[in-house]
Amino acid sequence: MESQRYEVQLMTGAVGAKPEVRSSSVVMTKSNGKRYRCYLPVSGSPTKTAGQVKSEATPRVSALLSTLLSKCFYRMEGWWTYEFCFMKSMRQFHQEKTKNGEKGETTAVMQNYELGLYWLPEGVDLGADRVAEAAEKLAHPLASKSKAEDEKAEPAEELLHFRGELLDDPKAKRKYWSQQYGNGTACDVTGKPRETEVRLQCAQNEPSHLASIEEVSTCRYVVQFRTALLCPHPEFDVQKKDDDVEAIKCEPLDAEGQPLPPRKAAPPAVAASPLPAAKASKPAPSESGDTAASLQPRRIAYDAGQCFIHRRYNYRGVIIGVDRTCLQSEAWQRTMHVGSLKYGANQPFYHVLPDTRDRPGTQITYVAQENILLDTPSEPLFHPMLDEMFDAFNDVEGKFTPNDNLRNRFLAAEQD
């Protein structure tokens, strides 16, 4: 059953507006002997079984995730690169540069392990045409030509063989959509095929990305995949779930079992006389001792051509420009939660090219300096605009060499 969450609130006096008559109450005693009468709320709607929730969630989830079809996402962790292709496969591999005669150096995959494949019936292939047809049906579920044709048509979920399960994460107190990927490369230890569970979770205002990969037992993996695509679904709306908590209000009782009167509010403090202007004190420093840093822009620490890994989203990128402070609109800053950053908007923000293996289709992103983690890769990143801005890649230093145009623009931005 779907369980309602409750929060017990111990009041300092009698509950002002008593709950409706249908609610029940119970007297409880704390370990110190103090007694309370607690009013239990009555739920206004019947709970649903897990099966009912799952059957309702399936078509909506498939529609929300349809834009991930035919897309792959990457995450680098030390020696390994992980690749997740939605409803296709999960694998880990290691690639290195090798010499290829007259062609010079090429990148070759040296080690490759399939951690799991999405199960499809024998002979079924999720080709481009099949995916396009299913995606169109998911995007426009009511656009059938006629009832007769609609009854004959194969549902989008069946076209894709879309499967999954709505489950709870008790630690994170949120739901996720679980998909199983099996029949991977045989395990050297157990001899059995590798298997992976992919857990897709709502992540407000975040790009779709691989958040973590964990080997929970020998050759069995759990992958956390975060995406904002699931957030419109009510079962994944974390904020809505927080708002759904019902309060159990408990009022204190006296020795005769009667509610104690509410405590009177403390009288307002008498305002101290202001100091003369000449003796006004300076603002006290913050507990972190970083008042100046929070009020004044920090210095520009990085240069054009340097590679990095995003501290939060874990994608690779290269710097192509900089602003001394965030120059985006207030609406953009609110949407991207710039105010929650340690240094807020008063720090350099960099224009970057993200590696398209990590963020497919992304052109240029805007990253706060505190989210830059310098990296020195042994091979160049992937992005269609690299040749327009850089002359070469220095594999010894792990950074790109800006062309004259980019170098001049970056220097001008530093001097503004």
Q: Are 240 and 234 in contact (CB under 8 A)?
A: yes
Report d(CA 73, CA 210) in Å as an integer.
7
pLDDT tens-digit profile of 370-401?
999 999 988 899 888 898 899 999 988 899 99
pLDDT value of residue 86: 92
pLDDT tens-digit profile of 89-121?
999 998 887 777 676 777 788 889 999 999 876
pLDDT value of residue 41: 76
DSSP bridge pairs for 176: 167
Q: Are 89 and 72 in contact (CB under 8 A)?
A: no
The residue among 229, 171, 167, 172 whose CA lies nearest residue 198 is 167
Which segment, 26-30, 316-320, 358-362, is predicted with the most confidence on average? 316-320
| Range scoring the smallest mean pLDDT among 168-177, 239-248, 284-293 | 284-293
Locus of tokens 């048509």: 153
Report d(CA 309, CA 314) in Å as an integer.
6
Model confidence at 335: pLDDT above 60? yes
Q: Are 333 and 345 in contact (CB under 8 A)?
A: yes
- Helix (H) / strand (E) containing 156: helix 156-160
Question: What 3-state DSSP class applies to 149?
Answer: helix
Helix, strand, coil percentages (3-state) for the chain, rounded to 5, are 20, 35, 45
Two structure tokens written together for 37:
């009468």
Mean pLDDT of the chain: 77
DSSP bridge pairs for 9: 249
pLDDT tens-digit profile of 267-312?
544 444 444 444 444 444 433 344 334 445 578 999 999 999 998 8
Provide mean pLDDT across the span 323-348. 86
**255 vs 23, higher pLDDT:** 255
The answer to pTM > 0.85 is no
Report d(CA 3, CA 56) in Å as an integer.
17
Report d(CA 53, CA 1) in Å as an integer.
10
Model confidence at 330: pLDDT above 50? yes
| Range scoring the smallest mean pLDDT among 139-143, 172-176, 191-195, 225-229 | 139-143
Report d(CA 37, CA 23) in Å as an integer.
13
Query: What are the sequence ranges of the domains in the chain?
Result: 6-46+245-252, 297-415
pLDDT value of residue 224: 92
Report d(CA 324, CA 308) in Å as an integer.
18
Question: What is the β-pairing status of strands 195-202 and 220-227?
Answer: parallel
Q: Torsions phi, psi of 319, nearest 5? A: -80, 135
Question: What is the β-pairing status of strands 209-217 and 220-227?
Answer: antiparallel
The residue among 46, 31, 38 whose CA lies nearest residue 11 is 38
